[in-house]
Amino acid sequence: GAGVSQSPRYKVAKRGQDVALRCDPISGHVSLFWYQQALGQGPEFLTYFQNEAQLDKSGLPSDRFFAERPEGSVSTLKIQRTQQEDSAVYLCASTILGGMGNQPQHFGDGTRLSIL
Amino acid sequence: GQQVMQIPQYQHVQEGEDFTTYCNSSTTLSNIQWYKQRPGGHPVFLIQLVKSGEVKKQKRLTFQFGEAKKNSSLHITATQTTDVGTYFCAGPSGNTPLVFGKGTRLSVIA
């Protein structure tokens, strides 16, 4: 597709349920990033991949958060045993090359997650 | 780790007035990026600054990177209603490619 695609756009789950959020980056983009954005805040880094390798997961809030990109293209962010504080917009971004923070990031529209 | 601070948090201006947002880092940055996020939208890349003292212009927007590469600013001349949104600066920190500031939310009153 032309841009980064995320699904679902909206997700409502009950506390304790597991959720999976999908990101389809721009075709051919090497690096993929996940961010969490709370209302009125800036995007908070969660993790990123270069191809299928997860190079940094220091931003994942707890071991309930898990991300994968098994074939170096589509990525899934999974949150287990969701809690109310997980409610946020989850943004995915991709860059055409690998490397460290020196390229424009192209963002998807995000998944708005609400935990009841 | 490196923190990126932005001020002000909010700015309300009359259409036609100028607007400036400032970004400060606790450490020297190799580069800094600016993004704009419209209400309900996603961040959109505006520009990247790399060189010490660099100044770049995009129509009514002027971006500056400080001599010490620890601060940056975005100045908008004669704001329009289309400038409404939140402006974020972001820079690399350690092994993390991009750390975002909390942003400056701009409201423009017509």
Does any CB of chain B come closer than 8 Å to the CB of residue A92?
no
Provide, for chain A, the percentages of residues in helix, strand and coil under a 3-state DSSP scheme, each rounded to the nearest 5.
5, 45, 50
**Who among A58, A93, A99 is closest to B96 (CB)?**
A58
Closest-CA residue of B relative to A58 is B96
What's chain A's length in residues?
Answer: 116
CA distance A89 to chain B (A): 10
Q: Looking at chain B from residue 13 to 32, which residues have their Cβ under 8 Å from any Cβ of chain A? A: 30-31
A105 contacts chain B (CB < 8 A) = yes
Please tell me which residue of chain B has the smallest CA distance to A103.
B48
Interstrand relation of B104-109 and B10-14 (parallel, antiparallel or unpaired): parallel
**Is some CB atom of chain A closer than 8 A to the CB atom of B101?**
yes
Contact criterion met (CB < 8 Å) for A104 and B102 = no
Contacts of residue A96 in chain B, CB cutoff 8 Å?
none
Residue type at position B71: N
Question: How far is the C-alpha of B99 from the C-alpha of A64, rounded, in Å?
Answer: 22
Contact B106, B11 (CB under 8 A): yes
For residue range A13-61, list pLDDT tens digits in order. 999 999 999 999 999 999 999 999 999 899 999 999 999 999 999 999 9
Nearest CA in chain A to B97: A101
Q: Give CA–CA dist B3/A113, Å, rounded.
A: 26
Task: Give the other-Cβ count within 10 Å of B65's Cβ.
Answer: 23
Which residues of A are less than 8 Å from B91 in CB distance? 101
B25-78 pLDDT per residue, tens: 989 999 999 999 999 999 999 999 999 999 999 999 999 999 999 999 999 999
Most confident range, picked from A39-43, A109-113, B25-29, B91-95: A109-113
DSSP string, B60-105: TEEEEE-TTSSEEEEEESS--GGG-EEEEEEEEETTEEEEE---EE
